[in-house]
Structure 1
Amino acid sequence: MSSDDAATHWLQQAGRQPLLTAAEELHLGSLVRAWQDHPAGPEQAPARITRRGRRARDRIVNANLRLVAHVVRTMRPGLGRQVGEADLPDLFQAGAMGLMRGAERLFSTFGYWWIRQGVSRWCDSSSRLIRPPSGHAPKLARLGRIGEELQRQLGRQPSRAELAEALGMSLRDLDLVLTVGQSCCSLDQPVAGSEDPSPLGAMLATPGAPEPDPLIMELRERINALPPLQARLIAGRWGI
């Protein structure tokens, strides 16, 4: 199934889900609350309460899938080129997961924001080769915002100490956030600005690697000049 077909199928399924009446919302919400607010915690709640709570949560989510589609379509133009039409099924799924978290908290009118949060987190994680911890995303956003404000005020790039003071964190915590925010690149990509087609990984030195023995290198060159069968026999016999 193509991404377009998957998105269309998702929207069709969302449109088939019946809406809830106000009385149904109250009843289902009470079942979710009984599960989530159980004195022993939702993970330790009795099986009957857990089963009813999860079914109620799923009904709330299914009845609000149209809201997920609306939020994703509204957010789509502002997500930039990093998210294309092929990503719509994943965006719908991320929004539905956010909606599920909101349903467990009986989100009421805040379902919109739970969906947005789910979509935003998916976009942030999918744009990186290495996914940062979700808790660092707000810190990175705040760091970027305050860093720009300080640069405008000072007329220069703020120092690490100035950034840490403005953010109210230690230099160690700031360095951790900065490290998480660094972009990644593939070692297989060609070196920028170089006519050599070798990948970046081939240009990097291996720490602690011994220098190649000139005598071994010369022997390998001479062996490679032999007929293939002789070269394999000699190399295999002497382990060169």
Structure 2
Amino acid sequence: MPNPTTDLVHSYLKEIGRYPLLTPEQEITNARALQQMMAIEEQRSNLALQLNREPTARELATSLGQSEAEVQSIIQQGQKAKEKMVTANLRLVVSVAKKYQNHNLEFLDLIQEGALGLQKGIEKFDPNRGYKLSTYVYWWIKQSITRAIGEKSRTIRLPIHINEKLNKIRRVQQQLSQSLGRTPVVAEIAKSLNVLPNQIREYLQVSRAPVSLLMRVGDERETELADILPMDGISLDEQIALELLHQDLSKLLALLNP
């Protein structure tokens, strides 16, 4: 009998194969359009804090010194740009996910986690730094997948009711991420679930149970989990920048020492 999961994977691979890759120029153009949209969303969040409610379209536009039509146009262009950047790099997600099979997570789950990391990486991507989009988001995809593996392989098993709450939080987080076009803050997740922000923080804190940092991951089991988790006192964005700088320096040294 055919395997339903295998059929789903084949269908998914066929679907993402239809999306064209972006040229470097298209990556930059789309990234800048996305940055403009995210700047508006950041202003929306700041204004909501000031007003203690969601701002109207007119209030948002006025605070930006633009017309409502201009703001709406920038948001629509940003959403389209993000969609193009995501779909053009889904094959990279599959490529990374293949390296982490057989870790108590289904292949489709690995792809889903990698896609979430891809979205975060795209939101953080700065075209002015000179990195290729695929080079940059690779690290976000990898980090998202390995974190999911770590959570699945926790040495402390959480009670069922805690896991149910966490699953609900993650579902809402994904829904908000898609509707907002960015990663939601704790207050937004709490509002959707009709609970206090502190309750969300407590559940998320509980979910960070210890894992074995000596656990080996990757297709060849060549890497320990500790080697790819974010370093203390440094953001993942900074860690990625350091890694890319290290790669650039290594290439330069190779040219200087033939």
Tell me the TM-score normalised to structure 1 length.
0.49
Structure whose alpha-carbon radius of gyration is higher: 1
Q: Which structure exhibits the higher relative contact order, with contacts defined as CA atoms closer than 8 Å and separated by 6 or more residues?
A: 2
Q: TM-score, normalised by structure 2?
A: 0.46
